[in-house]
Amino acid sequence: MPESAKKHPKNVNGRYYVDCEACASHLLCVDLAPGNFRSDEGGEHRWQPYVFKQPETPEEERRCREALAACPMGAIYDDGEEHF
């Protein structure tokens, strides 16, 4: 994890995560990988997406990588290796 990154508190443990301070809530990741990213309406991090499920299939992995590459704020990180 980059030293300046602050993980969204709802990110599940694993290789992908969203930095809640860098995220501008574009929700593109939710559109690209809805099986792995979501956002909530209320609370301190309102509308900010987070990783609720790490990828478990090659297709989910592809979608998470696509979300990471497309994030306009560079707020999605990958700290691990593929397991497929």
Q: Is residue 5 domain-resident?
A: no
> What confidence tens digit (pLDDT) does each residue in 61-79 have?
999 999 999 999 999 999 9
Domain of 48 in residue numbering reads as 16-78
> What confidence tens digit (pLDDT) does each residue in 26-44 have?
899 999 999 999 998 776 7
Give the pTM: 0.86
| CATH number for the domain harbouring residue 23 | 3.30.70.20
Domain count, the chain: 1
Q: Is residue 43 domain-resident?
A: yes
**Positive or negative torsion for Cα 78, 82, 83, 84:** positive
